[in-house]
Amino acid sequence: MADAFHTTRWSVVIAAGQEDSSLALETLCQTYWFPIYAYIRHRVAQEHDAQDMTQAFFEDLLSRQTLAHADPDRGRFRAYLLTACKRFLANQRDRDNAQKRGGNLKHLSLDFALADSRYSDTPQDGLTSEILFEQQWAIALIDNVLATLRQQYAERDKLPLLEELKPCLTGQSSSSYAEIARRLHMSETAIKVEAHRLKIRYRESIRSEIGHTVDSAEEVEDEIRRLFEVLSQKRQNPV
């Protein structure tokens, strides 16, 4: 199983000399930028300052060629990104320079209007910036998994089935299998089979998505435990 990690996104990024490492890093940043924005927004009073710092941080990250250097946090993209952000915010001069370099830097397309709405709707009582970051990371990961599943079911013309069964993943469904079967004009047995298959796909997709953000197969289970530990007060998702 470990061999499969040679071509996952984060392993490509930290492997020196890979031609597609820049694209792999940009893809990861585009998927997981909101947790960093939530972290910065939690620490910075002014909304626009947080937006500027977030954009500047990712511009700086995408322009540097230091990811292959020895770093105790490089095994997991989540840990690496948070550590890099902390260092970036702690260095006022570097941040100012990054903001001034302008057109030569690579920009991510970041929807701050949507991000601010999402941030405002996020419960934050008693949370540290680090825990908020980890919670939003886990949510972003799950949302990405669900988006992938939605695309797969849409390609098979089974999107209504996914929408009906999705609450079953969290144990929060208000409908019985029999009720779902009636609405979809299917047998209850068929719905149970589909629900079982969806749960398997969900677990596999979570492991696959986490696999893109760690450097070895051994880290997947630890990362799953950590992410769902910080999510335990928000959702309950079977893995």
DSSP one-letter code for 215: S
For residue 59, give Cα distances in angstroms to 20, 37, 134, 147, 207: 18, 14, 22, 26, 29
Residue 19 banded pLDDT, cuts 50, 70, 90: low
Residue 148 banded pLDDT, cuts 50, 70, 90: very high
For residue 106, give Cα distances in angstroms to 51, 56, 102, 152, 180: 16, 10, 9, 31, 47
Helix (H) or strand (E) holding 81: helix 77-90
Least confident of 86-100, 192-206, 222-236: 86-100
Residue 74 banded pLDDT, cuts 50, 70, 90: low
Report how far residue 165's alpha carbon sits from residue 189's, in angstroms, rounded to the nearest whole number: 14
What pLDDT sits at residue 214? 87
Least confident of 51-60, 75-84, 87-96: 87-96
Phi first, then psi, for residue 214 (nearest 5°) are -125, 170
Residues 204-224, mean pLDDT to the nearest whole number? 89
| Domain residue spans of the chain | 2-230
For residue 140, give Cα distances in angstroms to 38, 92, 154, 210: 12, 29, 21, 11
Report how far residue 24's alpha carbon sits from residue 213's, in angstroms, rounded to the nearest whole number: 11
Report how far residue 47's alpha carbon sits from residue 198's, in angstroms, rounded to the nearest whole number: 39
Percentages of the chain per state (helix, strand, coil), in multiples of 5: 70, 0, 30
What pLDDT sits at residue 217? 79
Interval 158-180: pLDDT, tens: 999 999 999 988 777 788 999 99
Q: What angle do CA 145, 153, 168 make, to 5 degrees?
A: 65
- Coil, strand or helix: which one is 217? coil
Q: Quick check: 224 pLDDT over 70?
A: yes
In which residue are the tokens 């001034």 written?
100
Least confident of 12-26, 148-162, 217-231: 12-26
Residue 105 banded pLDDT, cuts 50, 70, 90: low
Comparing CA positions, the residue from 118, 38, 47, 115 lying closest to residue 82 is 38
What pLDDT sits at residue 69? 52
What pLDDT sits at residue 237? 43
In which residue are the tokens 């993209």 written?
77
Query: Cα-Cα-Cα-Cα dihedral of 59, 62, 67, 68, to 10°?
Result: -150
What pLDDT sits at residue 23? 83
Residue 66 banded pLDDT, cuts 50, 70, 90: low
